[in-house]
Amino acid sequence: MRVGLAESQFRALMIGAVSLVVIFAYSNTLSNGFVWDDASSVLTHKHVQDPSKLRQLFREDQHAFGRGEGSFYRPLVSLSFMADFALAYDGPKEALAAGRVPELDPFLFHVINTAWHIVASLLFFALLTRLEAPRFVRLTAPLLYAVHPLHTEAVSYISGRGDSMAATFMFAGLWCAMWDRTLWRRIAGGLLSALCFAAAALCKESALIFPALLTLINAVRPVEEPEKPGLLVYAKRSIPVLVSLALLGLYVYLRQALDLGMPSAARETSVGQRLLETGQAFALYIRLIFAPTGLHMERTLEGVPGWIGAVGLALLAACAALLVVEGILRKRRRLAIAVGWFLVTWFPISGLIPLNAPMAEHWMYVPLAGFLWALAEVVWPLLRRPTAQKTARVAVYVVCVLFVVLTLARNRDWRDDETLYLATLEENPDSVRVHFNLAVVYDDLQENLPAAERHYRSVITLREAQKKELPGDTNAVLFWDDELEAHLFLGDARLEQRRYREAVEHYNLILQIEPTEKNAACLGMASYGMGKCMLAAGNRESAAALFERATQTFPHLERDVARLMM
């Protein structure tokens, strides 16, 4: 960045630099496969695969064909998957009609994920330019944002696209809302801002913080028309905020009408415990911003010392003090916006409001922009001498290179399901969900039954440990779905090996639970397996009763049952 570089040249240079570093940092994702929830988002989502079902995408959960909670209302993300699928799939339509999982190259999906991240990063740069940030800030924050390894969970992971899409529309909406130099620009900007917010909300629930972020920016940014009364200026700025609040109300009404609700909380905790966990998560987020290593999708706060919570709360207080002292009292408006951005967008993921997990790396997609911006604003006034400025720029380039290396390394974990789950278990070996998912991969996809059994047993062991921590006699009757399926696998495996007594033990555990629509399939297959065990023991009467129960759930088994009972 030369001293005499024209503004237009600097902007062109930044557009090219941001685009190139993102392309390079995520170049090794293009050969990665579909992983984790990509199956329910794309591969088994019949409506995504059928353009005639476009309207249906706006009426259902993103994982309508998976095991989702029914609370992820992200129709624009599904719509983008529909477009990708239409372009990428060249197989016979008959295969889709027959319900078979399509053979699909994920290359285009990864390209589009990378493109969304580029656009989000460039719009972040555009926001800083609109707010007249110094070149050092506009160089540092967008470049570090573009290649920060925390974003791999949103970019390398196809189903993580909702984060970058929502951020893109949020950044665009904020930028448009600042078109206020003439009446017509104000009207156009307000309309476009409203459309962008609506689009962001239809990409991910985290975008609902947009009205608060817009309020912050409009309240703090300088008044460009000092000859006009201040109250009139702020009254005009409030119009896009009021429109966004109206859209927020409409969004909530729409979710209720569709009976989708909101993503549920994982568990109830006391206020004191929640405050402690908020501090712990905040401290860990700050650590991940400065040292983004050991990244994984199954973060918990189990085993995190209490003093980490105290450190986190102290860091949070420091951010608040920076906002008040430097941003408000000393009237450093951009710094106030940057710190406020970070705190406002962090609040929904803070844990103060119960969520389905204590923390997640991809939740930092929007808050990270505010943090990096604030960091650059803090450093910039310290660089008064040209030598210091040059040294700082070199340091930024070095950190960018380091982040690119870490991003490339993390991308390799997303190559396929097995690689991802093994990498996750290295960081969190007690994740029941990952053990179960890995067992399914070994069982269904690789037919590696010994490996599948090993991880199914881990599921049972971890669930039994969790039951011991439950109050009263709850653990006597409680079984999680993954635990039931683990017992079903082990029962079937022992039946295949003719180790009938061991098979009966697993089947009995399943058959003792109260039947529901949700567990009907598992109970049906356990009844079928137990019937075979009874038949092998010569107890035809018990076998017949069990087979009858199985065929009530699975009528197609009647022919097999008739053959067995001959």
pLDDT, tens digit (0-9, with 9 covering 90-100), for 463-500? 999 888 877 655 455 789 999 999 999 999 999 999 99
In a domain, 289, yes or no: no
Q: Is residue 265 part of a domain?
A: no
pLDDT on residue 229: 60
| CA 407/CA 149 separation, integer angstroms | 5
307 in a structural domain: no
Per-residue H/E/C for 286-334: HHHHHCCCCCCCCCCCCCCCHHHHHHHHHHHHHHHHHHHHHHHHCCCHH
Task: Encode 132-189 in three state secondary structure.
Answer: CCCHHHHHHHHHHHHHCHHHHHHHCCHHHHHHHHHHHHHHHHHHHHCCCCCHHHHHHH
Q: How many domains does the chain have?
A: 2
**Sign of the alpha-carbon torsion through 258, 264, 424, 493:** negative
Structural domain includes residue 414? no
What does the pLDDT read at residue 68?
52
CATH number assigned to the domain comprising residue 509: 1.25.40.10
pLDDT at 80: 98
Distance, in Å, from the CA atom of 465 to the CA atom of 253, rounded to the nearest integer, reads 41
In a domain, 70, yes or no: yes
Query: Looking only at Cα atoms, what is the longest distance across the chain?
Result: 97
- Which of 355-359, 382-386, 403-407 shows the lowest mean pLDDT across its residues? 355-359
Domain boundary among 88, 105, 122: 105
Model pLDDT for residues 24-77, shown as the tens digit of each residue: 999 999 999 999 999 999 999 999 999 999 999 999 988 888 765 567 899 999
Task: Write down which residue in 105, 123, 148 finishes a domain.
Answer: 105
Among 105, 131, 148, residue at a domain's last position: 105
| 365 belongs to a structural domain | no
Average pLDDT of the segment spanning 67-94: 87
Res 172 pLDDT > 50: yes
What angle, 0 to 180 degrees and rounded to 10, lies between the N-to-C axes of helices 333-346 and 367-379? 150
Question: Does residue 472 fall inside a structural domain?
Answer: yes
Domain hosting 61: range is 34-105
pTM of the model: 0.92
Output the six-digit token pair for 251: 């969004």
Is 504 part of a structural domain of the chain? yes
